[in-house]
A and B are shown apart, each in its own frame.
Chain A
Amino acid sequence: MIVNTKWLEKYTDIPYSPEELEEKLTYLGLESKIIENAADRIEGVIIAEIQEVLPHPNADRLKICRVATGSETLSVICGAPNVMPGQRVPLARIGAVLPNGMQLKPVKIRGIQSEGMICAEDELGLSDDHSGIMVLPDNAPLGGDLRNYLTGNGISIDIDLTPNRPDCTSHIGVARDITLLTDGELRIPAINFQESDALTSDFIEVEIENPIGCPRYAARIVQGVKIGPSPQWLVDSLLSVGQRSINNVVDAANFVLLETGHPLHTFDYRMIVGKKIVVRSAVDGEEVVTLDGVRRELNADVLLICDAEKAVAVAGIMGLENSEITEDTTDILIESAYFDPATIRQGSRYLGLQTDASYRFERGADPDGAIYAMNRLTDLIAELAGGTVTRGIVDNYIRKIEPARIKVRFQRVNALLGLEIEPQWMVTKFRKLGCEILTQDADCVVLKAPGWRPDLEREVDLIEEVVRIYGMHRVPNAREMHIQPNYEEPLNYKLVEQLRQSLANFGLYEVYNNSLVSQKHTGFGPQKLTPVPIRNPLGKEMSLMRSTLVPGLLQNARYNINRQNNDLQLFEIGFVQQFDRKYETHAREFQRYAVLLTGYLEEKYWGFERRAVDIFVLKGLLIAIFEKFGITAVEFQPSVHDHFEILIDINYRGNMLGYFGMINKTYLTLEWDIEIPVFVFEGDLTTLLENANLGKSFTPLPVFPKIERDISILVKENLKIAEIEAIICKNAGEYLKELKFYDLYQGKNIDKGLKSITFNLVFQANDRTLLDIEIDDKMAALHKILKEEVGAQLR
């Protein structure tokens, strides 16, 4: 909503500068921003009249203009094509400063002295127009300061209105809010027109078929008007809030809308068949052509204004072409109605059409204000376009809208706000708001809210008014804070944050990806979930909720690889959804965590060989994560999937913790345009936390020395390390405390089909010092068993 200070001053005095007003309105809840006026930066430019245009002796395209300022006559060289004698124009004299910072100096152009410059709009910073000089209206004051002339129409302020304040979609509404601060008087324009003897009811009858959608419909006729241009004050007023003048009647209706906030409609009475207005719901599939020339198909949510035969307006939204005011219109039917907010909103949404009228009706117009607005428009039309006004208003108020009666307890106001405001102060402000005080005692007041404030329904709504008028910024902070003891540790939250921190500490970078994805994403991987579809997506690429985190990470990998960053260690923690009608929200949610590794772990560096990421780097990372959560001895189970070169499921006590693997090369190239190996993991966070063993207990430290032995053997290359480990554990006896695999070798000096492997064993007893000889015996026995069971050769 744009308001103009000069316009506002019609209704109340404003003892503030524009900047003060901007701040005060903002503190009242009307977030305001002064619209910068380009003319503010023009200095020393005056209004002058061109008296004579003479040719320049030395240049065909230039003219010498004799220009009168009222006090002197100057010679100015001008090259504009549109310069003509008799024009009033902006003249920059020597010394003037233009908005671009240029200062005018005396100058000779092609040998002739120029005593100033006639300006185009772009030179004044008013627009980009450089097609010719700016021509001012003939009544622009000769010799007057251009800046004063251009800014004489007040300062315009853009208010970002919240949806609860339909009253402030008008200048009177904003002026009323200003009186809350100034305690000044609110001046509502008087109504002056005379009615003729012709009865309105002889010309029109109003029938409301849908009283829910249209509680009130009032009509009146003005006969014999003359459509023509609007007077300058009306043109200027509309222009000051960014609206163009059309003709006197249309402008008058717009003016009353911007003045009172009540939308009105004017019909060409000739086009109304059967002296009848019928308000009804549209029929599904019914078609109309609105004023903007668009053919629209309606449904039953749309409310229509009809005559005896046809629709003539979409109620509260837009009129139809078939009844609009034209140059030869003489008799006008004025409509001033109150339409139900929800009905107008439904219709407006169905049509995808929001207008100044629908904007106001759907926020709640003033049912009582309909009559004043009608009278005000009648008055303006009679004044500007002549004509006679029929006697009386046909006012069908079929469903009475009663403003709320509200009891406000003074104590409650102060208790909720933490203030101590005098009851009388509150009551004075309630009156200023337009509330009618019904009863009042020491403890409370009962009042009736004004029709223009449909948002005032309950006590708390008036408490808001109190703090708004008092000034939220003036409410002192409480001195104390009431803190509730929390007996319960927010455990899961903390664990998730620990996981996040651990992953970062392991060198991974956290990413966030969009949860709205395409089918390519939801179709990925071994754990396919039916994705949740979005009915009204931004596009096909974002029409589903993600069901796995890995594709987002692949997308990040491609993004970075395309920018020459191949060494990536990324993770994301987030929710994925599965479509399932069994749930109240049709969605089951899982919290997941996922990792992607590619390239090298370290950057190029001196002194060591950097490690390329492989499946065992990822496996080691996962084991470290699980250990953080007290989960050891997980089971790895090979699996198969088209998108994976290698795929391994991770199980723990019968629960699947997740899967990891190396992405299939062909899939990676075709679908993701990535040419280097990529390793990924995805796990379910809830499963991880449910299986976490967080209780820690102390084991006494060993007191007796340990004995270490290595065992190096040659075995068949297809023999799994885990199988050999199992044999060793089973046969090494009770004193084996640690078993660590630490070397694998194939190649030179080793026969084909074999591999050399080395383990480190640590023996220790809790109650005595072990003897070397008993461990030697144990090792000899182990060698023998390994030879018998898997054909191991001792190295």
Chain B
Amino acid sequence: MSLLEDIHEVQRQLQHDLSQIDINAQSVENLRIKYLGKKGLIAGLFKDFGALSSSEKPEFGKALNTLKKTAEEQIKSLQNRVAEQDNKGTSFDYTLPGYPFRQGRLHPITQTMNRICDIFGEMGFGIEFGPEVETDFNNFQALNFPPNHPARDMQDTFFVDKDILLRTHTSPIQIRTMLKTKPPVRILAPGRVYRNEAINPRSYCVFHQIEGLYVDENVTFAELKLTIEVFAKRFFSKDVQLRFRPSFFPFTEPSAEVDISCIICGGSGCRLCKHTGWLEIMGCGMVDPNVFTACQIDPEKYTGYAFGMGAERIALLKYGIDDIRLFYEGDIRFLRQF
């Protein structure tokens, strides 16, 4: 008899035993020993198998393994049935819920900002902070917003005094950093910013921004594109497409808006992307020479790039939230979802 016939024979026996068995702990254990025990039938087959020449092995190996697996599965299922029968006789109820372990959550904005900082952190960006109440110089003038320039309209401002205001972006951190550190500078500047805008589902007078700044010799627009693309693919998905299009910010030149292909529809158009297929995620550009001059850095020697994004906007997109005010209500039903 060949080994294959032996295997079939054990198989037949197993099916026979299974159909005849009276299920209890002892009979199932006996069955297990008979087939899967160290000296069981299947172990015996493996012994015979070991004696085969290597050219014969592939033919039988598969059948033998299938047999072993079938036996294991069927005996395991018998064991489960025994365990269940046992429990039915006692008061132990494994369906009772487990005791809850207390767990809190980080706010979705924190989670978003941390993730962004982590990704750029791996790309060598340090972290810098700055005050929320700022001078007009740091928030506007040094960033190449002349007084009485329409660019200031883009950022409706809360004033504390004539030249003191609530920062409208975290860009003043760029200025503070460049004034105290000589290049190379490679930082992220996260923080809370303020815009004098009425509160509605799309805008809130307080929000959070993360800016990045890299200043060194020979920094190029092409490197900015690379950095942003790495970020966007890591943060959203490696399948997203990016689109850079010219824009205007006083503190960068050239300036660009960055769109990603819509994360819902992939570009074919849906409500989230207003049927354009694109979602705006950030602004960026090459640091304007006037900003370097304001920070006593030689714009001929150094170049740099800067980018900035709103954490709320990124979180709205990432989680599909449709009302920015939810971030500031502290509703526990909202917070539990993240």
Contact = CB atoms under 8 A, between A and B. Distances in A.
A342 B148 contact: yes
Interface of A: 26-29, 31, 33, 162-165, 341-342, 345-346, 362-363, 415-419, 458, 460-461, 463-464, 467-468, 472-473, 475-486, 488, 490, 493, 497, 500-501, 503-516, 532-538, 542, 545, 552-553, 555-556, 559-560, 563, 565, 568-571, 574-575, 577, 584-587, 589, 601-603, 605-608
Given A342-B148, A493-B127, A163 B248 contact: yes
Contacts of A560: 330-332
Contact of B247 (A162, A345, A481, A601): A162
Question: Which of A555, A585, A608 has the largest number of chain B CB atoms within 10 A?
Answer: A585
A474 to B, nearest CB: 9
A625 to B, nearest CB: 13
B133 A534 contact: no
Contact of B158 (A29, A345, A537): A537
Nearest to A496: B129
B158 A536 contact: yes
Given A165-B248, A486-B126, A506 B330 contact: no
A33 B214 CA distance: 33
B176 to A, nearest CB: 11
B91 to A, nearest CB: 14
A415 B100 contact: no
B39 interface: no
A482 B223 contact: yes
B157 to A, nearest CB: 8
Interface residues of B, number: 85
Interface in B66-111: 96-97, 99-100, 102-107, 109-110
Given A419-B222, A463-B253, A565-B333, A510 B110 contact: yes
A476 B225 CA distance: 8
B245 A534 contact: no
B186 A27 contact: no
Interface string B289-313: 1000000000000010000000000
B332 A585 contact: no
B221 A511 contact: no
Interface in B199-254: 199, 204-206, 214, 216, 218-223, 225-227, 229-230, 243-248, 253-254
B220 A468 contact: no
B245 A473 contact: yes
B150 interface: yes
Contact of B104 (A542, A556, A569, A606): A569
Interface stretch (B13-21, B29-37, B160-168, B265-273): B160-168
Nearest to B255: A464
Interface of B: 96-97, 99-100, 102-107, 109-110, 114, 123-124, 126-127, 129, 131-135, 146-151, 153-154, 158-161, 164, 166, 184, 186, 192, 194, 196, 198-199, 204-206, 214, 216, 218-223, 225-227, 229-230, 243-248, 253-257, 276, 286, 288-289, 303, 327-333, 335-336
Nearest to A501: B106
Contacts of A29: 245-248
B166 A534 contact: yes
A601 B101 CA distance: 11
Contacts of B216: 482, 484
Contact of B330 (A345, A485, A488, A570): A570
Q: Is the interface of B mostly helix, strand, loop or mixed?
A: mixed
Closest 7 CB pairs of A and B: A418-B222, A29-B246, A556-B330, A418-B220, A162-B248, A507-B102, A483-B124
A478 B160 contact: no
B151 A163 contact: yes
Nearest to B300: A412
B332 A586 contact: no
A490 B128 CA distance: 9
A497 B190 CA distance: 13
B132 A416 contact: no
A586 B248 contact: no
Contacts of B330: 511-513, 552-553, 555-556, 559-560, 570
Contact of B331 (A28, A563, A569, A571): A563
Contact of B147 (A342, A534, A587): A342
B246 A468 contact: yes
Nearest to B249: A162
Contacts of B255: 464
30 contacts: A28-B246, A29-B247, A29-B248, A164-B248, A342-B149, A417-B221, A419-B221, A460-B254, A472-B225, A472-B245, A473-B245, A475-B222, A478-B225, A478-B226, A480-B226, A481-B124, A505-B103, A510-B104, A510-B107, A512-B330, A516-B194, A516-B205, A552-B330, A577-B133, A601-B102, A602-B100, A605-B99, A605-B100, A606-B96, A606-B97
A602 B221 CA distance: 54
B315 to A, nearest CB: 11
B245 A31 contact: yes
B154 A463 contact: no
Nearest to B290: A458
A481 B220 contact: no
A509 B105 contact: yes
Given A461-B253, A538-B199, A418 B221 contact: yes
Question: Which of B97, B124, B127, B148 has the largest number of chain A CB atoms within 10 A?
Answer: B148
B289 A512 contact: no
Given A515-B206, A538-B198, A507 B103 contact: yes
A85 B302 CA distance: 77
A608 B246 contact: no
A536 B164 contact: no
A469 to B, nearest CB: 9
Contacts of A605: 97, 99-100
Contacts of A532: 133, 160
B225 A475 contact: yes
Contacts of A606: 96-97
A785 to B, nearest CB: 41
A481 B246 CA distance: 22
Contact of A418 (B146, B147, B194, B223): B223
A589 B133 contact: yes
Contacts of B229: 477
